[in-house]
Amino acid sequence: MIRITFTLALVFVCLGWPTGSFGQSAPIRLTLADAVARGFETSHRLAEVKAREQGAQAAVRGAQAADKPMVTATAGYSRTNHVPEFAFVQPSGNRLVVYPDIPDNVVTRVAFQWPIYTSGRVDAMERAATAEAQAIAADIDTARADLRLEIVRAYWAVATAREAVRVLEEAATRADAQLADSKRRFEVGLIPPNEVSALEAQRSRERAQLIEAGNIRESTLIDLRRLTGLDPDTVIDIADRLDAGLANPSNPSNPIQEALDQRPERKALTLRLGGLEARQQAAMTGTKPTIGVGAGVDYANPNPRVFPRKGEWQESWDVSVSVSWAFWDSGRTKAQVAEAAAAVAATRERIAEFDSVVAADVRQRLLEIDSGAAMIQAATDAVRSGAEARRVVADRFTAGVATATDVLVAQVALLESELARTRALANLRLAEARLHRALGKS
């Protein structure tokens, strides 16, 4: 019973079947497009950037409201110590209290303020906030592009591991058949025992490779589940094949310029450059005048604006125009302008560096595509040649004119060719995804 259970478990591992309950839910069949869509819907990274965008939009609304009127209401209560009343006798003989002893003081005020002229500072800050909000929106596109590349890489890694498992399963089946045939030949004295031992060793190596490939497939599935927001126990069935739909991509006539036009990172940098230039203009208004108007209504007991003071509720009002001009601030504005100018220069250099990196990246990805296509063709030819060589050696072995070692060498060569083709297909798929990312395509 123990041996049977162990054998079944080994078969499950080799075939990539779940070893848990047979009542698990049906596998989820995922195409690459489905995986990308799921990743976009469940990504915490995208949710974070979208939350930042909402904060930037709120900052824009705050900057737009900076030059709008504002109405405030305030109230206050204060208790003072008792003081001697100040009074004098009028010619009529009546006693006039000029400064009474009123220890309870209550003040209420409704005020109105409106900065009608700020030398362009408010407009510049609004432009800067708008540019930052637009840059964060471009950051969302960048995050989506990065996430898509990660999902594509994980998806094709699963497909590659699955294909490797298939190749190794077929190789293990061939090895089992060849070993059984060699044992029969050994029993009748047609081959020496060392050839049987060599085939047994090769079968053991292929079994070990099969188990390792199954574990690699499960590891890549763990990463794909994480990126697509699926439950860790979800069974995924990859719908797209590595060799399905391979075609020579139609390269744009000017791929570098297309990449510079479409890359969201460059768009974000350009928008942030505009925002920094607006902040520099805002800093330059530090030594320019600002004008504002204000008004207010006071209702207090006692009202300090009414003379003589009386312990009763009285109202008063005021209207004012204020002018503020910091014509000398010991170099503060000059330092702020220099800081903003340095940030603008740094961003321009960063854009220039980004352009050079993108140009090199696009060229490298195009070379990868060409190399990948050539490697697939070479690997396909190698598989066809290896299969034919193995067939010929097997026929010769059956006829007794080839040794088991010759068969073993042919099988190993075919296995390596098939695995090399799988790796070439995976490299081409990954190169396509990298080129897609380098060109800034959504």
Euclidean distance between CA atoms 238 and 396, whole angstroms: 40
List pLDDT tens digits, range 334-383. Answer: 999 999 999 999 999 999 999 999 999 999 999 999 898 899 999 999 99
Homologous superfamily of 28-68+120-286+331-438 in CATH? Outer membrane efflux proteins (OEP) (1.20.1600.10)
**Strands annotated E in 84-154:** 86-89, 95-99, 104-117
Decide which of 317 and 209 is more confident.
317
Total residue length of the chain: 442
What is the percent of the chain with per-residue pLDDT over 70, rounded to a whole number? 92
pLDDT at 246: 66
C-alpha distances (whole Å) from 285 to each of 120, 122, 336, 344 are 7, 10, 10, 17
List pLDDT tens digits, range 45-102. Answer: 999 999 999 999 999 999 999 989 999 999 999 999 998 888 888 888 788 888 888 9
Residue 71's CB: how many other CB atoms inside 10 A?
A: 11
> Is 315 within 8 Å of 342 (Cβ atoms)?
no
Say whether 74 sits in a helix, a strand or coil. strand
Domains of the chain, residue spans:
28-68+120-286+331-438, 70-117+290-324
* Cis amide linkage into residue 308, ω under 30° from 0: yes
List pLDDT tens digits, range 6-41. Answer: 333 333 334 344 444 444 557 888 899 999 999 999
